């Protein structure tokens, strides 16, 4: 039964569907990654595109529950997410990853796993003071109180992407328009020769 273990060839689009891609939304906690990812999924679904979200926080409660927040564990967290995203893209899906992935080396590893041709890095760019004022999960408050250690932006650096495909400033762009920016980029760079618009 080995024939059932091989993934579909990378970049092999489903008949009548868009070519697979992995949208890697990176940014500090509270930047708006999860919210924007949800909007992207809804937008893609409205166009009849098969799309799925891999949320870093949710995966930390399941697949990656055994990992901590050391550099080694953070790197492994990103690696596992990238492997899952790659398998989903192999199956013809559009994959939206929302994950802090704080180091450039982590994101380069993800890109290598997914494949450069289908990896779209999206920096959800939000100043620390804005993200901390939002603090939807109360994590900044806990970090400031010393109840969380190694928190990105407070105790650990976030390495800003040097050359992302997209940079979205959430102080200027709300979630729904941000999702449309992502879709427009995908259409303009990946669907030029595909008649499914």
Return the closest-CA partner of residue 95 out of 44, 23, 36, 34: 23
Return the closest-CA partner of residue 168 out of 107, 98, 110: 98
Q: Please give the distance of CA 48 from its chain centroid, rounded to a whole number.
A: 21
- Tell me which residues are annotated as active site: 101
Count other Cβ atoms within 10 Å, centred on residue 12.
Answer: 14
Return the closest-CA partner of residue 122 out of 68, 76, 180: 180
DSSP secondary structure string for all residues of 143-159: HHTTSS-S-BTTTB---
Strands of the sheet with 51-55, listed across from one edge:
51-55, 94-98, 21-26, 119-125, 166-169
């Amino acid at each position: 039964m080995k024939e059932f273990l091989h993934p579909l060839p990378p970049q092999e689009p489903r008949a009548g569907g868009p070519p697979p891609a992995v949208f890697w939304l990176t940014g500090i906690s509270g930047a708006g990654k999860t919210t924007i990812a949800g909007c992207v999924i809804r937008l893609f679904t409205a166009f009849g595109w098969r799309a799925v979200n891999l949320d870093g926080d949710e995966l930390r409660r399941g697949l990656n529950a055994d990992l901590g927040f050391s550099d080694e564990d953070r790197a492994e967290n990103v690696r596992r997410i990238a492997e899952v995203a790659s398998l989903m893209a192999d199956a013809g899906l559009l994959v939206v990853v929302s994950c802090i992935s704080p180091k450039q080396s982590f994101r380069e590893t993800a890109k290598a796993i997914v494949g450069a041709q289908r990896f779209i890095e999206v920096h959800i760019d939000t100043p620390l003071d804005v993200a901390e004022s939002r603090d939807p999960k109360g994590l900044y408050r806990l970090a400031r109180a010393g109840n969380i250690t190694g928190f990105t932006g407070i105790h650990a650096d976030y390495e800003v992407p040097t050359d992302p495909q997209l940079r979205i400033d959430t102080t200027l762009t709300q979630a729904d328009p941000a999702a449309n920016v992502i879709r427009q980029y995908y259409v303009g760079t990946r669907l030029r020769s595909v008649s499914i618009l």
